[in-house]
Amino acid sequence: MKKNEILIGSPRRNGNTFILSNHLNDLLNSEGAHSYLSYLYDYEIKPCIDCRVCKSGNMKCSIKDEASKLFDKIENADVIVFATPIYWFGPTAKTKLLIDRLRPYFTNKKLFGKKGAVILSAGSGITDCDLTIEMFKRIFTTLGIEYIDTITAEAYDIGDVVENEIALDSVLMLSKNILK
């Protein structure tokens, strides 16, 4: 059975990004998948310092922090889902910190052949998400991750997505695509 890692980059544990991510997690687990949630704000993730140690030797990041725990989860997953609200037309800072630290995987190819998806919630919906969608598509391509889909939801106040049937249906369709 596939292992799925959902990386939640929202500081709100009860916010719209969490609601959509938790819904996906529940759907996947109800079908017998092994799906897990990780809250990036629970981890100390330092910024990449462009030391380039990851480009040679064991091709691992040299920074000592809790990102290594996330790297283990990502490496062991078949499907990686990044979930983040949109802040100023991009992912949260915590999400971007993790993305920047994925640099070793460009060289070591350990993510090659995995699948990836994105969950985005934004105050104005999809019109705020275009840059982030393109960013993730490029990241996935660069890392050899097969892009599955992006779910976007117009959501500003906590709980807005609960009434958003389009977003909830999109999560259901994503779960089916992941389970294929």
Strands, sheet with 3-8, edge to edge from the N-terminal-most edge strand: 34-39, 3-8, 79-85, 115-122, 146-154
Instruction: Give the integer Cα–Cα distance in Å for 94 and 147.
Output: 21
Q: Is the pLDDT of residue 55 over 90?
A: no
Residue 56: pLDDT band with limits 50, 70, 90: confident
Model confidence over 11-50: pLDDT tens digits? 998 999 999 999 999 999 999 899 999 999 999 999 999 9
Model confidence over 90-141: pLDDT tens digits? 999 999 999 999 999 999 999 999 999 999 999 887 889 999 999 999 999 9
Residue 180: pLDDT band with limits 50, 70, 90: confident
Give the HSE-up count for residue 127: Cα atoms under 13 Å, Cβ half-sphere: 2
User: What is the reported pLDDT for 160?
Assistant: 87
Instruction: Give the integer Cα–Cα distance in Å for 61 and 135.
Output: 22
Give, in order, the Cα–Cα distances in Å from 5 to each of 29, 113, 126, 148, 157.
12, 15, 24, 14, 26
Give residue 117's domain range: 3-179
CATH number at residue 96: 3.40.50.360
Do 117 and 178 touch, CB atoms closer than 8 A?
Answer: yes
**H/E element holding 39?**
strand 34-39
pTM: 0.94
Q: In terms of DSSP H, where are the helices of 109-155? A: 130-143
Q: What is the mean pLDDT of residues 141-164?
A: 92
Least Cα distance to 75 among 64, 67, 83, 63 occurs for 67
Domain total of the chain: 1
Burial status of residue 58 (CB atoms within 10 A of its CB: 0-12, 13-18, 19 or more): exposed
